[in-house]
A = this chain, B = another copy of it.
Amino acid sequence: MELIKKYQDIFCGKFNSLKFLKDPPELYEPIDYALSAGGKRIRPVLTVMICDFFGNNFEDALNPAIAIEIFHNFTLVHDDIMDDAPIRRGKSTVYKKYDINTAILSGDTMFAKAYEFVTLTREDKLPAVLKVFTKTAMEVCEGQQYDMNFETQQDVSLEEYLLMIKLKTAVLMGASLKIGAIMGGANEEQSSLIFEFGEEVGMVFQLQDDLLDTFGDESTFGKRVGGDILDCKKTYLYVKAMEKLSTEKSELLLKVYHDKNMSEDLKISKVQELFREAGVIEDCKVLMNKHHVNSMKALESINLKPEYKQVLSNFAESLLVRDF
């Protein structure tokens, strides 16, 4: 992970030097607040790194990488309104700190700002980058819509769930890598393979996230364990358990999941028990592994130096076993 760290320093050095404050402050202060909240900046770091791996020209990837990071944060600002989420990365979300209108308009401006950085992409690469970026933006919106639908949708099939996390999470990981590859001069076939790698890795990431949210160690995970359960989220574990459990047990899960009178701790432990009973932790790990294998298959056909492929492979591996 040493090499990733190098690109993290490069990207964060650049990103932190940007000034987002200007007039009117009512619009740009919330943007500055949202963008300086931190986070791992994993997507843009991958963009910069892959560009350098392919073309030894990481500077060319900086502007599109910034665009990706701003876009990602824009989606968080708006999602937090829709999900009624008060806290993000230990701080008040934008709409809580300011208000809904501010969060809407500052978010819109961030979306435009992301395109401002896309616009700064080298002209010969601009059409290709713009196309991937825009397609991804649409898909992320579609993913968020499916996620919102699930809140009121009784039966969510596994297929629907997997489509949702693909759109909401995985494609942006794929696109971050693909845009880096394009900037590094990779051809269409190679860029598509790196997209596939990223998308598969993104699936692993989200499935692991579902698992950690319910069975993680609070001290390393950094969020309250059981949050998804308390929010009645239709996670992989829930969807799969509903599919596998007997009618009687699945009705019990449904009842416990939506019981408004049960204490939080009891609800979490009861749901955890039913998930264990259904054996969905193992299912989740099997599925993560399937996506991991897919990512490794895509990686195999990628024409990069072995040491670079090793970095990507280690990165994919790290998501499979992460506890943060």
Q: Which residues of A contact B (CB under 8 A)?
A: 23-24, 26-27, 78, 81-82, 100-101, 104-105, 107-109, 111-113, 115-116, 118-119, 123, 126-127, 130-131, 134-135, 137-138, 141-142, 144-146, 148-149
Closest 8 interchain pairs by CB? A27-B145, A112-B137, A109-B141, A82-B101, A115-B134, A112-B138, A24-B145, A119-B130
Q: Enumerate chain B residues within 8 angstroms of A119, measured Cβ to Cβ.
A: 127, 130-131, 134
Partner of A26, one of B23, B104, B113, B149: B149
Copies in the complex: 2
B142 touching A24, Cβ below 8 Å:
yes
Closest residue to A120 on the B side, CB-wise? B131
- With the chains together, A81 CA to B82 CA distance in Å? 13
Q: Which residues in B have their C-beta under 8 angstroms from that of A135?
A: 116
Task: Identify A148's interface contact among B26, B81, B127, CB under 8 A.
Answer: B26
Q: How far apart are the CA atoms of A101 and B83 in the complex, in Å?
A: 9
- Report if A78-B127 is in contact (Cβ < 8 Å); known contacts: A26-B145, A27-B141, A138-B113: no
Per a CB cutoff under 8 Å, which of B78, B81, B112, B149 touches A141? B112
- Distance, CA A108 to CA B75, complexed state (A): 9
Chain B residues near A130 (CB, 8 Å)?
A: 115, 118-119, 126, 130
In the complex, the answer to whether A104 meets B116 with C-beta atoms within 8 Å is no
Closest to A24 in B: B145
Complex contact A78–B138 (CB within 8 A): no
| Cβ–Cβ contact A149 & B78, under 8 A | no
Q: Chain B contacts of A126 at CB under 8 A?
A: 126-127, 130
Contacts of A138 in B (CB 8 A): 109, 112-113, 116
**Chain B residues positioned under 8 Å from A112 (CB to CB):** 111, 134, 137-138, 141
Indicate if the CB atoms of B127 and A105 lie closer than 8 Å. Answer: no
Sampled A-B contacts (18; CB under 8 Å): A23-B142, A24-B145, A26-B148, A27-B142, A78-B104, A78-B105, A81-B100, A81-B101, A82-B105, A100-B100, A104-B104, A105-B144, A108-B108, A111-B112, A123-B127, A126-B126, A126-B130, A130-B130
> Are B145 and A105 in contact (CB-based, < 8 A)?
yes
- Residues of B close to A149: CB separation below 8 A: 24, 26
